[in-house]
Amino acid sequence: QQMTERLSAAIAGQRLELHFQPQVDLCTGELVGAEALCRWHDAVWGWVSPGEFIPLAEERGLIRPLGDWVLQAASRQMAAWRREGMALPGRLSLNVSAQQFADPQLAEHIATLTRDVPASAIGLELTESDFMRDPEQAVGITHALRQAGYALAIDDFGTGYSSLSYLRRFSADALKIDISFVRDMLESRHDRAIIQTIIAMARTLGMKTVAEGVESPEQAAALAGMGCEQAQGYHYGRPLPAADFAAAWARAM
């Protein structure tokens, strides 16, 4: 298929981009990190949505080369910021797919590809459903990754049917509350109850919570009031190219 070939060429030619979205402390509004999100601009098609090319990469065996590119590009960008006298506070979170996660040598592999930065500068996000694909294997890999110094977040939490017993054993650092619960939280008592439950569960298990898709100050205030620690969303900033992100957050870096 044509799209597979063009994506493959874009990965090999390093013609993907990373955009950066701020993650903030819900109480103080301070920058506490960022999420790196992969973007693909094709000469003919223009911007192709990651909702389209990430699943394609997963199906066509391209997610490892794509993921490797993301790891290298992310660590180079962080190193470049440091050379310019800026540093991202906290960690840069990278999305990892199930196929990458299944690699028992993942921690070593990441260390090799990101040798410009310490493990303490990197967080990894895996969706809840990807964790639950092979929970026993995930338990082992999460331990190895955290041992190596990477923080782990369970992405899109609330959509993937984790059992509580596995949640306890995964030893992740954070739960990211899925955008679908945040979107209507001000109108929906039901969604607020789910968010409250996720926050309580995370607290019991020693994990922090990050709300996704926060678009208004009212949502931010409600989430802070419920005890959620961190947030991400258009209210704080859209994903931006590295230079624009650094310019927007220059005071914090």
Q: From start to end of 128-215, where are the E strands?
A: 151-157, 174-177, 208-211
Give CA–CA dist 23/39, Å, rounded.
19
Interface with ligand G by CB under 6 A: which range of 78-86, 132-140, 192-200, 226-234?
A: 226-234
- Looking at beta carbons only, is 10 or 182 nearer to Na ion? 182
Q: Is 65 one of the binding residues for ligand G (CB under 6 A)?
A: no
Distance of CA 18 to CAs 36, 71, 155, Å? 6, 10, 18
One character per residue 166-195, x = contact with ligand G (rule: CB under 6 A): -------------x----------------
- Tell me which of Na ion, ligand G, Mn ion, none is bound by residue 51, counting a contact when its beta carbon lies within the kind-specific cut-off of 5 to 8 angstroms: ligand G
Q: Is 128 one of the binding residues for Mn ion (CB under 5 A)?
A: no
CA angle 103, 109, 113 (to 5 degrees): 140
One character per residue 130-149, x = contact with Mn ion (rule: CB under 5 A): --------------------
CB-CB contact of 4 with 56 (8 Å) = yes
Give CA–CA dist 66/82, Å, rounded.
25
Q: Which of 10, 26, 31, 54 binds ligand G (CB under 6 A)?
A: 54
Give CA–CA dist 178/187, Å, rounded.
16
β pairing state of 91-95 and 122-127: parallel
Q: Which of 125, 128, 130, 229 binds Mn ion (CB under 5 A)?
A: 125
Could you tell me the smallest distance in angstroms from the CB atom of residue 70 to ligand G? Answer: 4
Residue nearest to ligand G (CB): 233
Interface with ligand G by CB under 6 A: which residues?
A: 21, 37-38, 50-51, 54, 70, 95, 97, 155-156, 179, 212-215, 232-234, 239
